[in-house]
A and B are shown apart, each in its own frame.
Chain A
Amino acid sequence: MRIAGKGLNPNAKPLTFTFDGRTYTGLEGDTLASALLANGVRLVGRSFKYHRPRGILTAGSEEPNALVTTGEGPAQDPNQRATTLELYDGLVARSQNAWPSLKYDAMAINDIASPFLSAGFYYKTFMWPQSFWEKLYEPIIRRAAGLGALSGQANEDLYEKVFAHCDVLVIGAGPSGIMAALTAARAGADVILADESSEYGGRLLSETFDVGGQPGANWVADQIAELAAMDNVRLMSRTTVTGAYDQGTFGALEQLNARGGPKECFWRIVCKHSVLCAGALERPIAFPNNDRPGIMMASAVRSYLNRCGVAPGRTVSVFCNNDDAHRTAVDLIDAGVDVAAVIDSRTDAPTMGQYRLIKGGRVIGTKGRHRVTHVSVSTAEGIEHISTDCLAMSGGWNPTVHLTCHMNGRPDWNDAVLSFVPGENAVPNMSVAGSAAGHMSTLACLTSGAEIGADVARGLCLSPKVVVPTAEDAPYRIEALWQVEGKGRKWLDFQNDVHVKDVQLAAQENFRSVEHMKRYTTQGMATDQGKNSNVQALAVLADATGRGIPDTGTTTFRPPYVPVSIGAMGAGGQGKGFAPERLTTSHQASVDRGAPMIEAGLWYRPSYFPKPTETTWLDSCNREVGYVRNAVGVCDVSTLGKIDIQGPDAAAFLDFVYCNTFSTLKENRVRYGLMLREDGHVMDDGTTARIGPNHYVMTTTTAAAGQVMTHLEWVAQALRPDLNVRFASVTEHWAQFAIAGSKARELLNTMLDDPIDDDQWPFMSCGVVSLGGVSARLFRISFSGEHAYELAVPARFGASLFRQLVAQAEGMGGGAYGMEALNVLRIEKGFITHAEIHGRITAFDLGLDRLVSQKKDCIGNAASRREGLLAPQREQLVGLKPVDKAGKMTAGAHLFGNGADAVSANDQGYVTSVCFSPTLGHSIGMGFLIDGPNRIGERIQLVDHMRDVQTLCEVCSPVFFDPDGGRARG
């Protein structure tokens, strides 16, 4: 219910929202949780495993129970914490994990069957038969247990990823965070102050403390105004720092309260220093049936009351082991809410106001199905039943040490605060201030924030001043209370339905290590990462194993601190954002001709250029092969890597990286080159042209262009720094086109300013030509086996040149050809690609052994001659053709002796490339066969188990067409 006059925003506008189909009214500044409480809604969800009715437990991101789904269709967003979800007009939220309704959930039968569903029951119960686990048991269990679900549709919401840099990142804008930020910023440091809430101030917004002689919230507003006015400060609200990473990098998730704009933003913040001011989280007490709706954290009750003006109950009780929780009763009484009793487990508990105090009392049971109605209290006089509709509990505070553990730091046990505090230097250049460091009074928080802010500023060679306002400085009085004996389950991890007995069972079954206990019980897993339950679970485990809590240790707190949606982490990766697209200059012309574009690395290349009469890709491909074999074809080959190599030692460098020799190559000539890895296997191949005395242009395959460039850098910097050579990629500068076919020169001569002839331009020559006054490079090389050239122009002219080349070719009975035809043309000639040089192939395997010059050293030379790499047992390159010309061949098929069983023991080799050759009228292929070159003419069985193909083939030379190469030279 709303309390008139309470709350930080008295003039808040009303907002309408729906929860589970019912319409309610809330106020601006509400979270969904506070709005639901204001409307008297207590039951908000069902628990993960037992489907127990659950209500709102906390008022922050540690909430384990109040998880809801918002949005519809692709924008459906599950597992949102109602306690941090800001209310907006028209918000539609639904409860989760309940069917048919939240109130009457059929799966609540699990709760009745709970004795059979204890920790580890899956592993014991569903052992047999083995195959049933995957097919039957697991799907059923998964359906019964769970949180919200995604829609299964592609999310079209906008997410962002942003980088930020600063001197000082202050994590948390409570009293210590504000002081740290102010002190560092006033001294001149560049500061980012991030807080997960929509408003700055932390606990000061939820308490009734004065700071500097004014109400805490007013003091916060003044300081934030000062920070906001500084150029060197960036304030980031709704931003949770989720992880600490190397080199002062932090991940942070920003929730944007923007409808229509980005939904979430994932920040990567790089800072010189960080100050963790993440505060502390109040922990529950494990007493019987402590999970009923209406049982909440005492601090959450104060938050809803003081910040939102909402009382979570009409008659509230408090159960605690520390002074702090008494303030809940005081604040409620001040607001006119009844307080039934404060039950303090300490026999010396002080009285802090006009309420009934039960010293040395313990809550040993609760009643109420969908909300708590009674609590049973054990006192010195006996058992008393107290009527209440809200029980505020507090087992003390756990400093929020999570981020300090993200780089493998371990927290230290502190007896004074009965919890873990951050270890020393757990994260490089991170300091911890305030209650995150175990300082529990407001003054101690303000002071530690200011002092650490000053320390950090001094580390940046600045001159800070420490000024701390006045504030309360009450001692933190607490007595250990982890669990209360009594009948009924005492819940530890509300989110995973883990109770005290589960932890004890883990210990009993010898899962005594805290990490084993976690896996056995699932305590501390899932979206809240044990924020509420860790310390109590450890205490129970410590008790069950007869060790102390410090000896028991903690499990590992891992990032992210709060759940981060994949949408935010992968922001920008939707659709076209997945990877850059590299487009050739002829891209638009190819698309205009209806060519399906296929990916080659990041490049897009035309597969084929369909004509209206053609019904399959093969029709187009065959026609395009015919262009090249019979007239002239044009193909964009700009995607091949082109590396400019210059320097006095350029020739020596090439001799070292290629297995064959380039120092002997004459100027204006081109040579095929094979490059080996250091292990002697083939890395890449291509042609290299000598265009000046100390100037070469190397081409690489499209796929390996980056790899070769990296390799050259490595060789030049690490292996041969003695060689004076420089190289640079010119792939992007030149648009290059293959012009192939008997009419290639005829076509070229229609384009060039000065015609060429065979004498000046023999096979494997290169040089400079002019096209309409534009200087171009011409290479007489062939990847088709035909009389062919590659013509390179500066990329700005690529689109224009391609259109003109294709138009001319079409006039000569030819035209453009795509990747399919290019592939057929090269297989007909036995030319290799990365289908053949796939990383496990040597020059010997390719029949190119003699290319590895023994007159000089080169990378991979010695390794390529290792014993075993030259043996006839190696699988070597051969051609394959079907004995029956209609026989089907597939790449990836394996080769077996004729008549042998097609089993791996009989494997003789495999097929790497296959095509239908329109030139020959049947399928042809290339592959690797044991001792292949000596088995020409032999019949061999091609078997593709995956595609159920079996074809008798003949082993032949891999060069199917024009074996003496006369067409390319002529």
Chain B
Amino acid sequence: MAKLIPSPPCAGLLPKTIGSLAIREVDVGPITLIAPFSGGGSATSDVLKAEFGFGFPSPNRALGENPRIAWFGLNQALLMGAACPALPQAACVDQSDGWVIVCLEGAKVQDVLARVVPIDLRAPVFKQGHTARTLVGHMHGAVTRMGDQRFELTAMRSMAATLVHELERAALGVSARSSQ
């Protein structure tokens, strides 16, 4: 009989503090990709609203805290932190183990992110609750603002080591400048 032991994507890699930046892995619990079928958007949104208090998010927006939902591409959103309710009008795909999510927090977090994420993350432009599918270094991923000095990055699980490597490098560059 198999006895399977789970291991998180960043096992042995995180947490880390570099300069003023803290990087830790986030276990958001179950992750379900929800993609409403044609014409099924509002029905899907209604079920979500009844269940969690938030509907299907607009592009580049994240709703809720825990559980929460984040736009994740054309007609797609990730529901995180709760089992997905029955959504007959949507494709629901379990991706709980597909993504690595890391939280970056610190006074210089935007300076670190500017080294790996090409999009405009200035506070007036990219506010709390904003999310975007974008590049994280060489990787496809997503970035979400969780607070003034706190962001979450999502990348493919298999690239967890590369993600940590890229963030370490970026954070080291920032901290080397701060110590000048």
Real binding pair = yes
Contact status B158-A583, CB under 8 Å: yes
Contact status A582-B158, CB under 8 Å: yes
Q: Write the chain B residue with the least CB distance to A584.
A: B158
Residues facing B in A747-777 (CB within 8 A) are 750-753, 771-772, 774
Q: Is A21 an interface residue (CB 8 A)?
A: no
Chain-B contact segment, one of A162-170, A196-204, A469-477: A162-170
Cα A801 to Cα B7 with chains together (Å): 11
Contact status A795-B162, CB under 8 Å: no
Q: Is B67 an interface residue (CB 8 A)?
A: no
Cα A485 to Cα B7 with chains together (Å): 82
Cα A800 to Cα B3 with chains together (Å): 8
Cα A504 to Cα B104 with chains together (Å): 63
Cα A735 to Cα B97 with chains together (Å): 9
Residue-wise, chain A 874-911 has the 8 Å CB interface mask toward B (1 for contact) of 00000000000000000000000000000000000000
Chain B hits for A647, CB < 8 A: 37, 91
Contact status A162-B156, CB under 8 Å: no
Contact status B2-A730, CB under 8 Å: no
**What's the least CB distance linking A155 to chain B, in Å?**
15
Chain B hits for A646, CB < 8 A: 35, 91, 93
Cα A257 to Cα B111 with chains together (Å): 18
Picked from B125, B166, B180, the residue with its CB within 8 Å of the CB of A577 is B166
Contact status B177-A261, CB under 8 Å: yes
Residues facing A in B101-120 (CB within 8 A) are 111, 114-115, 117-120
Q: Write the chain B residue with the least CB distance to A158.
A: B173
Contact status A801-B4, CB under 8 Å: yes
**What's the least CB distance linking B39 to chain A, in Å?**
8
Residue-wise, chain B 149-173 has the 8 Å CB interface mask toward A (1 for contact) of 0000000111111100110011011
Question: How many chain-B residues does the 8 Å CB contact rule pick out?
Answer: 57
Chain B hits for A268, CB < 8 A: 118
Q: Is A671 an interface residue (CB 8 A)?
A: no
Given contacts A576-B165, A730-B95, contact A258 B7 (CB under 8 A): no
Q: Write the chain A residue with the least CB distance to B92.
A: A646
Residues facing A in B100-154 (CB within 8 A) are 111, 114-115, 117-122, 124-125, 137-139
Chain A hits for B125, CB < 8 A: 165
Q: Is B29 an interface residue (CB 8 A)?
A: no
Q: Is B76 an interface residue (CB 8 A)?
A: yes
Contact status B99-A732, CB under 8 Å: yes
Contact status A262-B97, CB under 8 Å: no
Residues facing A in B5-42 (CB within 8 A) are 5-9, 33, 35-39
Chain B hits for A164, CB < 8 A: 114
Chain A hits for B2, CB < 8 A: 751-752, 771-772, 774, 801, 804
Q: Write the chain B residue with the least CB distance to A733.
A: B98
Cα A133 to Cα B180 with chains together (Å): 51
Chain B hits for A581, CB < 8 A: 159, 161-162
Q: Is B96 an interface residue (CB 8 A)?
A: yes
Chain A hits for B86, CB < 8 A: none
Given contacts A165-B120, A581-B162, contact A258 B176 (CB under 8 A): yes
Chain B hits for A799, CB < 8 A: 7
Chain A hits for B176, CB < 8 A: 158, 258, 260-262
Picked from B33, B98, B173, the residue with its CB within 8 Å of the CB of A795 is B98
Q: Is A117 an interface residue (CB 8 A)?
A: no
Contact status A580-B93, CB under 8 Å: no
Cα A74 to Cα B46 with chains together (Å): 62
Given contacts A732-B158, A733-B97, A797-B4, contact A726 B91 (CB under 8 A): yes
Contact status A795-B157, CB under 8 Å: yes
Contact status B159-A580, CB under 8 Å: yes
**What's the least CB distance linking B118 to chain A, in Å?**
5
**What's the least CB distance linking B55 to chain A, in Å?**
18
Picked from B4, B9, B94, B138, the residue with its CB within 8 Å of the CB of A774 is B4
**What's the least CB distance linking B156 to chain A, in Å?**
5
Residue-wise, chain A 541-552 has the 8 Å CB interface mask toward B (1 for contact) of 000000000000
Picked from A162, A270, A795, the residue with its CB within 8 Å of the CB of B120 is A270
Chain A hits for B118, CB < 8 A: 163, 268
Residue-wise, chain A 256-293 has the 8 Å CB interface mask toward B (1 for contact) of 11101110010010100000000000000000000000
Contact status B138-A580, CB under 8 Å: yes
Q: Is A734 an interface residue (CB 8 A)?
A: yes
Cα A647 to Cα B39 with chains together (Å): 12
Contact status B161-A583, CB under 8 Å: yes
Q: Is B1 an interface residue (CB 8 A)?
A: yes
Cα A260 to Cα B8 with chains together (Å): 34
Question: How many chain-A residues does the 8 Å CB contact rule pick out?
Answer: 60
Q: Is B60 an interface residue (CB 8 A)?
A: no
**What's the least CB distance linking B92 to chain A, in Å?**
8
Contact status B138-A579, CB under 8 Å: yes
Q: Is A245 an interface residue (CB 8 A)?
A: no
Contact status A732-B97, CB under 8 Å: yes
Cα A258 to Cα B178 with chains together (Å): 11
Cα A801 to Cα B120 with chains together (Å): 42
Residue-wise, chain A 150-166 has the 8 Å CB interface mask toward B (1 for contact) of 00000000101111110
Chain B hits for A584, CB < 8 A: 158
Q: Is A350 an interface residue (CB 8 A)?
A: no
Picked from B39, B138, B158, the residue with its CB within 8 Å of the CB of A603 is B158
| Max chain A C-beta neighbours (<10 A), residue from B91, B122, B162 | B91
Cα A160 to Cα B176 with chains together (Å): 11
Contact status B91-A728, CB under 8 Å: yes
Cα A662 to Cα B62 with chains together (Å): 37
Contact status B162-A576, CB under 8 Å: yes
Picked from B4, B93, B156, the residue with its CB within 8 Å of the CB of A644 is B93
**What's the least CB distance linking B4 to chain A, in Å?**
4
Contact status B165-A733, CB under 8 Å: no
Contact status A793-B4, CB under 8 Å: yes
Cα A576 to Cα B91 with chains together (Å): 37
Picked from A270, A727, A751, A796, the residue with its CB within 8 Å of the CB of B8 is A796
Contact status B75-A726, CB under 8 Å: yes
Q: Is A693 an interface residue (CB 8 A)?
A: no
Given contacts A583-B158, A733-B96, contact A726 B4 (CB under 8 A): no
Residue-wise, chain B 34-77 has the 8 Å CB interface mask toward A (1 for contact) of 01111100000000000000000000000000000000000110
Q: Write the chain B residue with the least CB distance to A261.
A: B176
Given contacts A572-B137, A752-B2, A772-B4, contact A794 B169 (CB under 8 A): no
Picked from A576, A735, A794, the residue with its CB within 8 Å of the CB of B96 is A794
Contact status A262-B177, CB under 8 Å: yes
Cα A964 to Cα B115 with chains together (Å): 57
**What's the least CB distance linking B33 to chain A, in Å?**
5
Cα A162 to Cα B121 with chains together (Å): 13
Q: Write the chain B residue with the least CB distance to A723.
A: B38
Cα A572 to Cα B136 with chains together (Å): 13
Q: Write the chain B residue with the least CB distance to A161.
A: B115
**What's the least CB distance linking A686 to chain B, in Å?**
18
Q: Is A937 an interface residue (CB 8 A)?
A: no
Chain B hits for A795, CB < 8 A: 9, 97-98, 157
Chain A hits for B4, CB < 8 A: 771-772, 774, 793, 797, 800-801, 804
Contact status A730-B156, CB under 8 Å: no
Cα A190 to Cα B126 with chains together (Å): 14
Picked from B91, B97, B122, the residue with its CB within 8 Å of the CB of A734 is B97
Residue-wise, chain A 199-221 has the 8 Å CB interface mask toward B (1 for contact) of 00000000000000000000000
Contact status A572-B1, CB under 8 Å: no
**What's the least CB distance linking B127 to chain A, in Å?**
14
Contact status A190-B122, CB under 8 Å: yes
Q: Is A648 an interface residue (CB 8 A)?
A: yes
Q: Is A724 an interface residue (CB 8 A)?
A: yes
Contact status B157-A732, CB under 8 Å: yes
Given contacts A262-B173, A580-B138, A581-B159, contact A797 B5 (CB under 8 A): yes
8 residue pairs of the A-B complex, CB under 8 angstroms, read A160-B115, A165-B120, A261-B177, A603-B158, A729-B98, A751-B2, A795-B98, A796-B6
| 17 extra interface residue pairs, beta carbon distance < 8 Å, beyond A576-B165, A801-B4 | A160-B115, A161-B115, A162-B111, A165-B120, A165-B122, A261-B180, A579-B138, A581-B159, A732-B156, A732-B157, A733-B94, A735-B97, A751-B2, A774-B4, A797-B4, A800-B6, A800-B7
